[in-house]
Structure 1
Amino acid sequence: MTTQQSLSQRNRNRRMLIAIFAIFLGSFFVAGVLRFSGWRPSGLKNHGELLQPPSDLRQMEPVLADGSVYRWNPVERTWRIVVAPPADCTQACVELAREIDVVWQLFGRDADRVHVLWMGAPPAGVKKTTVKLQSLRPAPALRAALPRVDDAGSAGRPGVPVYVVDPNGFVILRYAPGFDPGDLRTDVARLLKLR
């Protein structure tokens, strides 16, 4: 092999080594930029507003309409969808209850691991369907612990906010008035996969 061929081979090997390092370190650089810019794959994003810090309801003992105490009982791994409508909520609450009933039914076999807690008596138009809607007696302290509970939405998106409470009693997600029920279903279905 001549000196010219050996220099050519050496330069080609160096370029290849530099290209490998560039690809290797470049992927770390791109990953770091994406990570610190806040980008996340759409499959990992939640649709509801993640509450930071989550509201702690563990010390509160909600009372059901029949007078019994509703226990958080984290061992059962039960997730809760909480609705705290204002007293004068009528047609919007009937529609919301219907949407939540559809969402609850779509959980299928996991539906037993989701309780729907309705603060106060549901409006007269709410049909008793298959949803495990549990009516809670009005509790000002519990209502006050829900972030922006009295935000009735804007003129374009009126309604009632909905909350997701984890098995331990922490309010972790909030859905603004007028939210898409499919978003609630997607988020809670992901949470149900956590064991």
Structure 2
Amino acid sequence: MGAAVNPPDLSELPDRRKGRWQLILILLMVIGPMVLATLMYKLQFWVPDSRSYHGEMIGDGQTRADIGVQADEQRWQLLVTAPTACATDCRQLVYLARQLQIGLGRDASRASHALASAQPLSADYDARLKAEYPQLQRYVLDLSTFTRNAAAPGEAQLWIVDPHGNLVLRYDATVKGKDLLNDLRHLLKLSNIG
């Protein structure tokens, strides 16, 4: 007679189902957060309303050249733009940029401060800058490029520019120095460049 066939052991079936459920759970744990994050971004739900920075974020890949400033700075830069004469607000921002660089302490060498003006400075202010702000970099602001840029308003602004020349944050003359210093310190802490 033929060999007797043993019936399958039914105790193995639950282990196989258990293994499948474990595999499904592992895949859900790996893929689930990515799917949830994508849906949150696309559908804009559960997105926090608060922010940790005080300026206006420039997150569209614009560079210094897009606002009319040609420079080759390899450090973080506090750039003041003056599309009109450098009056009170502009001068306040130039002073603030210098103070912020000093306020960085041991990280001061990672940043620079600069002024880009569309019009020549008055003789007395120019002399004052040369005497009191020896490290201030100065550039010509191309007014036609500046006015074409939607992110560049018509009054003096202070921009934080990364070492690659990308615009990161923009501030007007009403900014508090402490807030701006906190933003800059946070950026330097997170950055591996510059």
Scaled by the length of structure 1, what TM-score is found?
0.56
Between Structure 1 and Structure 2, the one with more helix by share is: 2
| Greater gyration radius | 2
Contact kept? 1:99, 1:181, Cα under 8 Å:
no
Identity of aligned residues (%): 14
C-alpha distance in 1 between matches for 2:78 and 2:32: 40
CA distance change for structure 1 residues 7 and 18 in 2, over 3 Å: closer, same or farther? same
**Residue 77 (structure 2) aligns with:** 80
Matches within 5 A, 1:37-56: 37-38=40-41, 47=53, 49-55=57-63
Q: 1:29 to 1:81 in 2, by over 3 A?
A: same
Q: How does 1:1-195 map onto structure 2 within 5 Å?
A: 6-38=9-41, 47=53, 49-55=57-63, 57=65, 71-72=71-72, 77-85=74-82, 87-89=87-89, 92-93=92-93, 96-97=96-97, 99-108=99-108, 111=109, 113-120=110-117, 128=132, 132-136=135-139, 139-141=142-144, 143-144=146-147, 147-150=151-154, 161-167=157-163, 170-177=165-172, 178=175, 179-191=179-191, 193-194=192-193
Distance across 1 between alignment mates of 2:150 and 2:169:
9
* Letter aligned with residue 34 of structure 1: A
Determine if contact 1:103/1:184 at 8 Å carries over to the other structure: no
One-letter code aligned to 1:84: T
Task: Structure 1 unaligned segments of length 5 or more: list them.
Answer: 40-44, 63-70, 152-159
Structure 2, unaligned runs of 5 or more: 1-6, 45-50
Structure 2 distance, partners of 1:22, 1:185, is 41
Q: In structure 2, the residue corresponding to 1:51 is in which secondary structure?
A: coil
Size of the aligned set, in residue pairs, is 161
C-alpha RMSD over aligned residues: 4.4
Write the letter of the residue equivalent to 2:187.
D
State the Cα distance separating 1:146 from its structure 2 match: 8.2
**1:194 Cα offset (Å):** 2.8
Query: Helix, strand or coil for the counterpart of 1:173?
Result: strand
Runs of 4+ in 1 over 6 A off after TM superposition: 122-125
Q: Secondary structure at the match of 1:54?
A: coil
